[in-house]
A and B are shown apart, each in its own frame.
Chain A
Amino acid sequence: MQQHPDRPRTYKTEGVVLRHSSSGEADRVLAIYTIDYGTIHVVGRGLRRAKSRLTGHLEPLSHVALQLMRGKGIDIVTGADTLHGHASLRNSLEGIARGLVCCEMVEAFAPEEHPNPELYKLLLDTLAQLNEGEGDRLLWHFAFHVLRVTGYMPELQQCVVCSNAVQPDEHLFSPGLGGVVCLNCAKDGDPAGPHERAGAPLLPLSLNALKVMRYFRDNPYEAVQSLNVDGDLAGELQRVLGGYIHYLLEREVRSSTFLAGLSRLLPTGP
């Protein structure tokens, strides 16, 4: 692992614990999204022991103040204090799954060791709102804005093939080209057009879905809350947004699949 000459021998920062995995006899390796350094991987010595003083502070979804020490390969957590434990989020299976969707998206979209204060604030705000009881719509809003602050916002104003302004009509969405394709370009006859070569099938995009996507992009969550998004439209947004994210990551967001599968696996809701 690379050394980080830009960090002092011991340093402090704050971050959100994204995930943990077991390592060695009783250690844990943590992925933490920090305000100063972006995603970092650090080791917590003895975290799996019942008597560890730090382990309760370093669970995924927790917002923590951290003290760290530069290690030979990987940095070591020497101190941690919970700033916000998001306790009510942890009280339901859906809450945990939603929180983990946010963590997984941030880990997937944020390049390692590259701070992004806007993304950091978005993650903190979203976890706090989920903790207040917000649901799946907030996750869509979060996903749109993760795309925005990491530079992957899809083009929704002009056709990504011909660059003409998109007219109010039914259109298609190309995950490969990252935006709307107008019907004119889509029916150009040649099945091996540029959007086909980009490696992802075109998805139908209704006018309503396009409008909702623009609204999500341009407005804070408070405004989006009052929007009426019914079953069909919700399904379409899920397909388009999910398809685009799947194309970008070349895999599914696993926590999101888990969340979607919960209703199928369990007899009753929360």
Chain B
Amino acid sequence: MTSNFGTDGLPTAPPVARLVDELHKLPGIGSKNAQRLTYHLIRMPEREARSLAEAILAVKEQVGFCSQCQNITDQNPCAICANPNRDQGTICVVEEPLDVLAVERSGAYKGLYQVLHGAISPMSGIGPEELKVGDLLNRLKADAADQDQIREIILATNSNLEGEATAMYLHRLLAPLEIRVTRLARGLSTGSELEYADEVTISRAFEGRQDFV
């Protein structure tokens, strides 16, 4: 006979306890939230619950990495890499797939991407070998040997310690390839006030100042 007690010792039907456990594994979901979501799902019409379950399965079955830019996609190459209207000569290197969306939302960039899936974090034991750096290098070498289209690599990693460390690493790694390597401007963000800015931000803003046009 199966026990009617969940992992917390309370009388919970095993299917309910299982769902609570599964939801609890998600980031930002504590045990109380997991219980709340579970009971919400129980009350949900079956059609909606099925649709949610199918959506989760579809993501796992149909979505993978683009072989060229390593972004998450349901086709290979992804829609951006396959689009002939995008500038094939620039690659914007970002940490996460969500960063691609942020840049796309701005509409300021029309080139290609490379997603690293993380940033160098020495204290967490995440080094360059844990990132998709090799894919970028292989892509550049293949391009140099074939069409030689790529003119510029834009390092668009975050402007925090890990992002800076990653950018510095890539800059040194790419130096022998003799391709132009640029870094996104760092300094004051739109809407920020000088009074509250830290010394590193202000000194970077001075270094990157431009002619007033």
Contact = CB atoms under 8 A, between A and B. Distances in A.
B160 A254 contact: no
Contacts, number: 80
B58 interface: no
The interface size bin for chain A is: 20 to 34
A255 B121 CA distance: 8
Given A51-B192, A56-B201, A60-B161, A104 B172 contact: no
Interface string B141-185: 000000000000000000011001100110011011000000000
Nearest to B176: A267
B161 A61 contact: yes
A87 interface: yes
Interface stretch (B15-23, B34-42, B122-130): B122-130
B161 A96 contact: yes
Kindly name the residue among A56, A59, A254, A259 whose own CB sees the greatest number of chain B CB atoms within 10 A. A56
Interface string A71-101: 0000000000010010100101100110010
A24 B30 CA distance: 11
Interface in B58-106: none
Contacts of B190: 50
Nearest to A97: B122
A82 B198 contact: yes
A87 B199 contact: yes
A56 B129 CA distance: 28
Interface in A41-73: 50-51, 53, 55-57, 59-62
Contacts of A90: 161, 164, 200
Contacts of B201: 56
Interface in A224-248: none
A258 B161 contact: no
A40 interface: no
Given A19-B123, A93-B169, A100-B122, A51 B200 contact: no
Given A96-B165, A267-B172, A268-B175, A255 B122 contact: yes
Given A51-B192, A61-B161, A93-B169, A265 B127 contact: yes
Contacts of B127: 258, 261, 265
Contacts of A257: 125
Contacts of A59: 160-161, 200
B52 interface: no
A57 B198 CA distance: 6
A228 to B, nearest CB: 29
Interface string A157-191: 00000000000000000000000000000000000
Nearest to B196: A53
A249 B15 CA distance: 42
Contacts of A97: 122, 165
A103 interface: yes
B7 interface: no
Contacts of A60: 123, 161
Contact of A93 (B129, B172, B193, B196): B172
B123 A255 contact: yes
B199 A266 contact: no
B107 interface: no
Contacts of B169: 93, 265-266
Contact of A87 (B128, B160, B203): B203
Kindly name the residue among B120, B192, B199 whose own CB sees the greatest number of chain A CB atoms within 10 A. B199
Contacts of B129: 265
Contacts of B128: 265
B57 interface: no
Contact of A259 (B122, B189, B198): B122
B105 to A, nearest CB: 13
A193 to B, nearest CB: 34
Contacts of A254: 122-125
A107 to B, nearest CB: 8
Closest 7 CB pairs of A and B: A56-B198, A258-B122, A255-B122, A53-B196, A254-B125, A93-B168, A56-B201
10 contacts: A50-B189, A82-B198, A82-B199, A85-B200, A90-B200, A93-B168, A93-B169, A254-B124, A258-B120, A261-B127
Given A56-B197, A255-B122, A258-B127, 19 more contacts: A20-B160, A53-B193, A56-B201, A57-B198, A62-B198, A82-B198, A85-B198, A87-B200, A90-B161, A93-B165, A93-B169, A97-B122, A97-B165, A100-B123, A103-B123, A258-B120, A266-B169, A266-B173, A267-B176
